[in-house]
């Protein structure tokens, strides 16, 4: 394991050089690359991955004749639920060769998922993200305020001189900590603020309530949650800054980044993206389906991300890159939890369930300032360990002051829109879209 981690930086550097070149490729070169990568991946899956061996046999799909993008629709969509149930079969028989690291996520959906990432996919993700940040103007040592859940034991924020970054722990986001942060930022003006849009907005709103001055960075980089048009306008107005949005995911099946000309691009040299309607036919507004080219330890071919996007009509961007343009990303928004000590917890709460096996779906509901209950839909893999891990996960985030009840249910509460939010606040902490 240690060896594989040490290898990543070299791979990142090598990959980064390649990403600098591939962003300038012509449409033809990009298409050729995509077809070649898909052919290699499908052949590998056919040779080494039990799930695909069984699937291809069942649907009479001959991987030897696979030609790339044109034949991709012959392979059925891979649903998150299938990954959850068949994760062992999705692991390549020769996975150790690629470096195995188990990862887990729940996105903001309330359904935990475990899967494997290998060295190549991780190195590619870092290189592709780094390139995206450079589009926004990031340079090494840019004076950065990073707003993330760091789980600091005592401090609200800490400075790291090597990266010139001030790290603010969003698990400690409350009026008091934001007040201290903004006082600090008066003398330490960041050039970049990066983090979840919800948290960066909350800092602004608390600051405005206090009548405190907000920093005016050159750029704000948001990731981790969907950035709505309204949020983008507010962030830009409050901080007098340009906002760059990035979409990526733990599974690495898709990536969308905003370029210096303001357009969101599908990162097509990192993954192959498809947009499908309810009948799984290609369309311009629909479900985002992604196939990462690099995760040979556990290939996820045509993985449904559970996010929706709308492609733009414009065929070209001023930046000159030939990556398709996305007009809008429609993700999931939820309410937020407020703890008795005044901390505000948004989608970070969804990670409470990451380590609990056997949860099909979950929902966290706050009905009093000191009480939440979690509704769970479970399967037979859920056991006492899952319950223990869930409780640890919840306590780690909300602390010890709140009472927690756990209910096992058959259905979760839906909104009128049909969406199933992960957090529901009955005490008025609505998260506006
Ligand atoms: Zn562009």
pLDDT computed for residue 333 by the predictor:
60
> What is the 325 CA–ligand 1 centroid distance (Å)?
8
Would the CA dihedral through 354, 355, 359, 363 be positive or negative?
negative
> What is the 326 CA–ligand 1 centroid distance (Å)?
10
pLDDT computed for residue 1 by the predictor:
39
> What is the 186 CA–ligand 1 centroid distance (Å)?
34
> What is the 135 CA–ligand 1 centroid distance (Å)?
9
Long-range pairs of 65-69 with CB within 8 A, sequence gap ≥ 24: 66/38, 66/39, 66/42, 67/35, 67/39, 68/34, 68/35, 68/36, 68/38, 68/39, 69/31, 69/34, 69/35, 69/38, 69/272
CA dist 326 and 37 (Å) reads: 23
User: Which candidate, 161, 131, 159, places its Cα nearest to that of 145?
Assistant: 159
Q: What domains are defined for the chain?
A: 2-133+248-330 (3.40.50.12780), 138-217 (no CATH), 337-425 (3.30.300.30)
> What is the 329 CA–ligand 1 centroid distance (Å)?
16
CA dist 146 and 221 (Å) reads: 10
pLDDT computed for residue 7 by the predictor:
59
> What is the 269 CA–ligand 1 centroid distance (Å)?
14
pLDDT computed for residue 95 by the predictor:
96
pLDDT computed for residue 5 by the predictor:
46
> What is the 20 CA–ligand 1 centroid distance (Å)?
14
Beta bridge partners of 256: 247, 266
pLDDT computed for residue 214 by the predictor:
96
> What is the 231 CA–ligand 1 centroid distance (Å)?
21
> What is the 384 CA–ligand 1 centroid distance (Å)?
50
> What is the 313 CA–ligand 1 centroid distance (Å)?
14
User: Which candidate, 320, 307, 333, places its Cα nearest to that of 265?
Assistant: 320
Query: Please, what are the averages of pLDDT over each run of 10 residues along the chain (433 residues)?
Result: 54 89 97 98 98 98 97 96 93 95 74 88 93 91 92 92 93 91 96 90 88 95 80 90 92 96 97 95 95 98 92 93 93 78 79 80 89 89 92 90 92 69 83 51
> What is the 324 CA–ligand 1 centroid distance (Å)?
9
> What is the 319 CA–ligand 1 centroid distance (Å)?
4
> What is the 10 CA–ligand 1 centroid distance (Å)?
28
> What is the 130 CA–ligand 1 centroid distance (Å)?
16
> What is the 266 CA–ligand 1 centroid distance (Å)?
10
Q: Order the strands of the 359-368 sheet from edge to edge.
A: 403-408, 371-378, 359-368, 423-425
> What is the 217 CA–ligand 1 centroid distance (Å)?
22
CA dist 196 and 118 (Å) reads: 26
CA dist 407 and 409 (Å) reads: 6
> What is the 343 CA–ligand 1 centroid distance (Å)?
38
Instruction: Tell me how long the chain is.
Output: 433
Helix (H, G, I), strand (E, B) or coil at 303: strand
- The set of residues, in sequence order, having a beta carbon less than 8 Å from that of 122 and lying 6+ positions away, is 8, 101
Q: Is-contact 273 326, C-beta < 8 A?
A: no
Would the CA dihedral through 310, 315, 320, 323 be positive or negative?
positive
> What is the 140 CA–ligand 1 centroid distance (Å)?
22
> What is the 259 CA–ligand 1 centroid distance (Å)?
5
> What is the 23 CA–ligand 1 centroid distance (Å)?
10
Q: Is-contact 231 197, C-beta < 8 A?
A: yes
Helix extents (H) in 94-228: 119-135, 175-187, 197-210
> What is the 431 CA–ligand 1 centroid distance (Å)?
30
> What is the 362 CA–ligand 1 centroid distance (Å)?
38
> What is the 69 CA–ligand 1 centroid distance (Å)?
23
- Triad 224, 230, 235: Cα angle to 5°: 65
């Amino acid at each position: 394991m240690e060896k594989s981690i040490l290898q990543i930086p070299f791979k990142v550097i090598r990959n980064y050089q390649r990403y600098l070149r591939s962003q300038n490729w012509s449409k033809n070169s990009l298409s050729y690359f995509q077809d070649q990568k898909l052919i290699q991946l499908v052949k590998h899956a056919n040779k080494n991955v039990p799930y695909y061996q069984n699937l291809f046999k069942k649907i009479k799909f001959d991987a030897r004749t696979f030609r790339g993008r044109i034949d991709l629709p012959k392979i059925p969509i891979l649903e998150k639920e299938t990954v959850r149930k068949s994760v062992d079969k999705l692991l390549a028989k020769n996975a150790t060769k690629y470096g195995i690291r188990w990862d887990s996520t729940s996105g903001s959906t309330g359904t935990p998922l475990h899967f494997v990432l290998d060295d190549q996919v991780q190195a590619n993700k870092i290189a592709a993200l780094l390139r995206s940040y450079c589009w926004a103007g990031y340079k090494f040592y840019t004076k950065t305020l990073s707003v993330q859940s760091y789980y600091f034991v005592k401090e609200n924020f800490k400075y790291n001189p090597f990266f010139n970054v001030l790290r603010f722990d969003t698990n400690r986001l409350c009026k008091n900590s934001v007040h201290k942060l903004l006082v600090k930022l008066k003398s330490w003006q960041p050039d970049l603020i990066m983090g979840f849009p919800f948290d960066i907005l909350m800092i602004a709103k608390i600051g405005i309530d206090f009548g405190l001055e907000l920093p005016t960075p050159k750029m704000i980089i948001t990731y981790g949650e969907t950035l709505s048009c309204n949020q983008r306008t507010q962030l830009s107005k409050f901080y007098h800054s340009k906002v760059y949005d990035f979409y990526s995911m733990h599974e690495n099946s898709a990536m969308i980044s905003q370029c210096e000309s303001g357009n969101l691009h599908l990162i097509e040299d990192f993954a192959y993206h498809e947009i499908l309607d309810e009948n799984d036919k290609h369309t311009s507004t629909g479900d985002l389906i992604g196939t990462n080219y690099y995760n040979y330890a556990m290939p996820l071919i045509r993985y449904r991300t559970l996010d929706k996007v709308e492609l733009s009509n414009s065929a070209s961007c001023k930046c000159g890159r030939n990556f398709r343009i996305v007009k809008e990303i429609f993700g999931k928004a939820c309410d937020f939890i407020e703890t008795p000590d005044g901390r505000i917890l948004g989608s970070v709460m969804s990670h409470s369930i990451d380590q609990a096996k056997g949860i099909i779906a979950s929902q966290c509901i706050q009905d009093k300032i000191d009480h939440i209950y979690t509704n769970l839909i479970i399967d037979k893999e859920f056991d006492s360990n899952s319950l223990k891990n869930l409780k640890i996960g919840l306590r780690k985030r909300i602390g010890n002051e709140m009472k927690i009840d756990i209910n096992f249910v058959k259905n979760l509460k839906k909104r009128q829109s049909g969406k199933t939010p992960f957090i529901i606040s009955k005490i008025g902490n609505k998260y506006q879209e």
